[in-house]
Amino acid sequence: MPKDPVCGMNVDKDKAIKKKIGDRTYYFCSQSCANVYEQPEHELKAMKRRVAITLMGVVAVAGLRVLALFGLVAVLMTTTLIGGLSVYSLALFIVSTPVVWIAGWSIIHGAYNSLRNRAINMDVLISAGVVAGWAYGAANAFMPGLGGEGYLEIAVGILAFVLLGKYIEESIRRRSAASIRKLLELQPTIARILKKGKEVEVPIDEVQENDVLIIKPGEKIPTDGVVLAGYSSVDEKIITGESIPVEKNVGSEVIGATVNKTGLLRIKATKVGEETALAQIVHLVEEAQASSAPVQKFADRVVGKFVPIVFSVAAVSFAYWHIVSGFSAAFFVLLAVLLIACPCALGIATPTAILAGVGKGAEYGILLRSGEYVEKARKLKTVVFDKTGTLTKGEPAVTDIVVYNGYTQKDALKLAAIAEKGSEHPLAEAILKAARQGESKIPDAESFEAIPGHGVRCAYKNKRILLGNRRLMQDEKVPIEQFEEDLNRLEGQGKTVMILAVNSEPAGVVAAMDTPKENAVEAIGKLKSMGLEVAMLTGDNERTAKTIAKQLDIDRVMANVLPWEKVNAIKKLQSEGKTVAMVGDGINDAPALAQADIGIAIGSGTDIAKETGGIVLIKDDLRDVALGVELSMKTMTKINSNLFWAFI
């Protein structure tokens, strides 16, 4: 069943009011909720008006009461008009009626909608109390002697209290939501594009993908792009929360709305309008703030059960006191139960905490994608990191070349480079980089095949070249026993070793080493201090993986995992009864991220839309993993304490 994003009520798809906003359809229980969503400012003003009306009502009835106390209206009280109606009662009736029916209409209408949708919410309780109080007080005014003295005042007072509470809640909510919207206003409105060699200024809306933009020092970058020319440092604080400027040179990604500090940059726009990182962030945060955690469903269920119970208790109390003390006293008890039982805070305990948590995260470039993940973080046991590109920089460099069977190092490297020329693997890049230092041109292979998780195979001038790990050599029946010793030695140093074979004959081994990211040790230490188990997942061999794990102080290693088996590795941990978070780059690791209870996509930069993670980290800083988990846990603690106090 879809949920009304305003009042949070589950609504019937057929009966609901549908509104298509952007590319999504929203369902509302009533026109008034739809109005709130579409024109929030308007609604806040209306709420303010309602509060003002009830407060004036309170002042008026209190004033009448004070006058009565001083005996000043004694004359009026005894002056009766038609029947038993005194001028004093009439004045009360005249003041309270519009307050209840005009200012209170939003709540009465809310109660009506709730009943129509066969759900019982807080509005029902409040309306029942206020309307019954008003009705009984009014009846008493016209027929004194019923004993309904003071009920009109109670109705007005309670309503003022409830409406004021709602208004305060809404303005708090509005303020945190608005702070996210404000981000969009930080985007520059004008961009300078290079058109046929000339610089022209255009409104930001007219910038298109692949346009070339010029950004002077001190200016904001108009949209997401890559640097074509220039060198500068860019302040990305608005997106990532990081106050130290980031160096940018040719090929670097830049994010719209960040500030170009020192140099002149020429960039190519890669994303515009709704596609930009900033727009995506705002969209995501809003969505997450509107989403409800499972704990919210729990709160909703409690309210759903709670209201009927309150009604029953009220009815039983009424019946009892009716017998003992008569109708008037019994009615007072009835109202007391209805109104006092209203745990108005219950409904907002969860959303306000999520709102705050998600908003805070966004300030640091940590996007919590839904309340669901916030809740899962509490049960988190294990954090799994992908090795290459996540724990390490993903930029291995060739460190050793060992040769056999008469090959020279130069030949071996050249053959390896020929084989890797068609591959996009980071290891391939390392080999090509090393080979290009000696060789100006690396010839193309005649045919090429990448074998994921194993290596590469190619044909070149009647040679069949293989480059890859033990698994590949085993599959291709290349004997490798003779250099196990070399392999073990290099792997023991944390290097990834690739074996080169030409026509099924070993020619050498090439070792490459990747360096851990700067903050890896600190980040892992933090997670462990939070009582979490940290594991590493890699396609690399056991020995290399263990060496690196030891450097980083990681407890558990899952090595030799083929790319498509990473999902199973996560499943295996889950089958041990653990709640698992997986940290990966969101592109290669998407399936594993999706399988994990909490997928954490790291270093997304401007590519936020693609991620499948429950938590998206914009910066490429491993410490944000701990920060994100911590933030989720804190938010959850806040939710629980809010719920607790709401119940109390």
Active site residues: 386
Of the ranges 30-38, 55-63, 103-111, 535-543, which one interacts with ligand ADP (CB under 6 A)? 535-543
- Give the one residue of 427, 466, 513, 534 binding ligand ADP; rule: CB under 6 A: 427
The entry of Mg ion, ligand ADP, none near residue 595 (CB within 5 to 8 angstroms by kind) is none
Stretch 575-594 residues interacting with Mg ion (CB under 5 A):
588
In SS3 terms, 361-395 reads as HHHCCEEECCHHHHHHHHHEEEEEEEHHHHHECCC
370 vs 423, beta carbon nearer ligand ADP: 423
Determine the Cα–Cα distance for residues 303 and 311; give it in Å rounded to an integer. Answer: 12
Of the ranges 186-194, 197-205, 265-273, 387-395, which one interacts with Mg ion (CB under 5 A)? 387-395
493 vs 588, beta carbon nearer Mg ion: 588
**Residues forming beta bridges with residue 193, ordered by sequence position:** 200, 213
Q: Should residue 390 be labelled a site residue for ligand ADP when binding is judged by CB under 6 A?
A: no
Torsion of CA 165, 4, 287, 379, to 10 degrees: 80
Strands 232-235 and 259-260: antiparallel
Q: Should residue 468 be labelled a site residue for ligand ADP when binding is judged by CB under 6 A?
A: yes
The entry of Mg ion, ligand ADP, none near residue 568 (CB within 5 to 8 angstroms by kind) is none
SS3 405: coil
Q: How far is the CB of 388 from Mg ion (least distance, A)?
A: 4
Determine the Cα–Cα distance for residues 332 and 136; give it in Å rounded to an integer. Answer: 10
122 vs 427, beta carbon nearer ligand ADP: 427
Of the ranges 294-302, 465-473, 474-482, 524-532, which one interacts with ligand ADP (CB under 6 A)? 465-473
Determine the Cα–Cα distance for residues 212 and 191; give it in Å rounded to an integer. Answer: 10
Size of the site for ligand ADP (CB under 6 A): 21
- Give the one residue of 280, 496, 612, 642 binding ligand ADP; rule: CB under 6 A: 496
Mind giving me the DSSP string for 292-358? --HHHHHHHHHHHHHHHHHHHHHHHHHHHHHHHH-HHHHHHHHHHHHHHT--TTHHHHHHHHHHHHH
φ, ψ of residue 195 in degrees (nearest 5): -125, 120
Residues in the chain: 648
φ, ψ of residue 555 in degrees (nearest 5): -75, -40
Q: Should residue 256 be labelled a site residue for ligand ADP when binding is judged by CB under 6 A?
A: no
φ, ψ of residue 512 in degrees (nearest 5): -130, 150
Q: How far is the CB of 40 from ligand ADP (least distance, A)?
A: 46
Q: Should residue 457 be labelled a site residue for ligand ADP when binding is judged by CB under 6 A?
A: no
Q: Should residue 388 be labelled a site residue for Mg ion when binding is judged by CB under 5 A?
A: yes
- Give the one residue of 213, 238, 255, 456 binding ligand ADP; rule: CB under 6 A: 456
Stretch 36-95 residues interacting with Mg ion (CB under 5 A):
none
The entry of ligand ADP, Mg ion, none near residue 604 (CB within 5 to 8 angstroms by kind) is none
Determine the Cα–Cα distance for residues 480 and 53; give it in Å rounded to an integer. Answer: 88
Residue 531 tokens, joined: 């009582």
The entry of Mg ion, ligand ADP, none near residue 454 (CB within 5 to 8 angstroms by kind) is ligand ADP
Q: How far is the CB of 389 from Mg ion (least distance, A)?
A: 6
Contact 589, 595 (CB under 8 A): no
The entry of ligand ADP, Mg ion, none near residue 496 (CB within 5 to 8 angstroms by kind) is ligand ADP
Q: Should residue 540 be labelled a site residue for ligand ADP when binding is judged by CB under 6 A?
A: yes
Determine the Cα–Cα distance for residues 614 and 596; give it in Å rounded to an integer. Answer: 9
Binding residues for Mg ion, rule: CB under 5 A, are 388, 588
Binding residues for ligand ADP, rule: CB under 6 A, are 387-388, 420, 423, 425, 427-428, 450, 453-456, 467-469, 496, 498, 538-540, 563
